[in-house]
A and B are shown apart, each in its own frame.
Chain A
Amino acid sequence: MNTISIRGCDLLARLVPIAAWVGLVAGCASAPVSYPELDQARAEVAAARSSPDAARYAQLELQKADDLLHSADAAARAHQAGEVAHEAYLASQTSKVALAVGADKAAQAHIAQGDAERARIQLAARTREAESATARADSATARAETAESAARDAQAGEERFEQELANLQAQKSARGLVITLRDVLFATGRAELQPGAELTLDKLAAALKDAPDRAVDVDGFTDIVGGEEYNLILSQRRAEAVRTALMARGIDSARITVHGYGKDYPVATNETEAGRQLNRRVEIVVADGNGAIPPRQALNQ
């Protein structure tokens, strides 16, 4: 009731100048009345409508802006300038609300996606960690298998080694396995190996390669013929000749110790030529285990 009477008053108040103006212009043409606020509101509402986020998330606000625009249009048709400006302002602001609501909801949707993405990345990282742990476990297993097969190889090498030493007629002793090279491998009074020694040394080197951790002691001996000093040096040189031959066949020199004992430690009588021939020899002692070979003196005491 009140509103109607107010609008009536307002209408009357607005109509008087408009009617006068219309009357003035009417003589030439009846131009439609233009309201810049309304044009602007129309443009703003259209812009909000074309925003995908607002269209998706702010339909209610867009509808309200449309309704307000229609009210402004109605007021324009009724030439209620004050009401046109007011309703147009409300429509403009409501279109801004629609845009803001659209942006807000779009950002919230982005956050929801981001949370899901974060969960996905963390899950993937955990999965990858688990997989790499499995891979590490697998490679540990593989290493263990490699070690095992190396151990099997070593075991096989050991068996081959023992067979090869047996072929060389190695004798067990307190210091280890002893292979004796008779003096037929050396010319009388000389320290150079005879060509016939090659085959025996090849077999020995091959056997030592199968047991790479074992120490080797090469000991030279002579008979009692000749001076003591001479025999010591000769036995030493013969032992060294054997070491050199083993090194030439790829045996690490660090494994090999060399001793010249001269006429000491005879294995047979020096009274006969046959006995003296047995005493002129080089003994190659191969350690039983991985330890060092005890020296001869220590054993004799």
Chain B
Amino acid sequence: MHSTRLIRPLSIGAVVGLSALVIGCATTPMPVDRIALAHAEIQRAERAGADELAPVPLQAAREKLAAAEASPHSADGALAARRLADEAEVDARVAEASAQAAQSERAAAELDKSLDALRTETSRSAVNN
């Protein structure tokens, strides 16, 4: 009875310690949340028209995300995957913001053009009147 009472906590502690060691150094979990965030950001960039308007950062984001997903399931691999996923997310964010800015600037330029035309037209009709 005595021995079993002593052995159980010891063996539990040993198992916990061992598993902590194994998890810490061998099977580090991959940063799935960061990868998911990068995925979502790349989709937002695509919806903003980054394929046409900001292809360079979008392509960088895709490549880094693919590399993050392909990282080995190791401590170094998980670290690399986290960094790659974070960089993919920020690259996609650059792509998204650049695409949005390009669209807004294009719209602003078109508006300016139509305003010039409107001004010319109204000043001409003002002269005719």
Contact = CB atoms under 8 A, between A and B. Distances in A.
Interface of A: 1-2, 5-6, 9-10, 82, 86, 89-90, 93-94, 96-97, 100-101, 103-105, 107-108, 110-111, 114-115, 117-118, 121-122, 124-125, 128-129, 132, 135
Interface of B: 23-25, 28-29, 57, 75, 78-79, 83, 86-87, 90-91, 93-94, 97-98, 100-101, 104-105, 107-108, 111-112, 114-115, 118-119, 122, 125-126, 129
A2 B19 CA distance: 13
Contacts of A94: 90, 93
Contacts of A107: 101, 104-105, 107-108
14 contacts: A2-B24, A86-B83, A90-B90, A96-B94, A100-B98, A107-B101, A107-B104, A111-B108, A118-B114, A118-B115, A121-B115, A125-B122, A125-B126, A132-B129
B28 A2 contact: yes
Chain B residues touching A, majority SS: helix
Chain A residues touching B, majority SS: helix
Contacts of A5: 24-25, 75
Contacts of B78: 2, 6
Given A103-B105, A121-B119, A125-B125, A6 B28 contact: yes
A86 B86 contact: yes
Given A6-B75, A104-B97, A129 B111 contact: no
B62 to A, nearest CB: 15
* Residue among A1, A103, A115, A122 having the largest count of chain B Cβ atoms under 10 Å: A103
A114 B112 contact: yes
Given A86-B86, A104-B101, A121-B119, A97 B28 contact: no
B79 A10 contact: yes
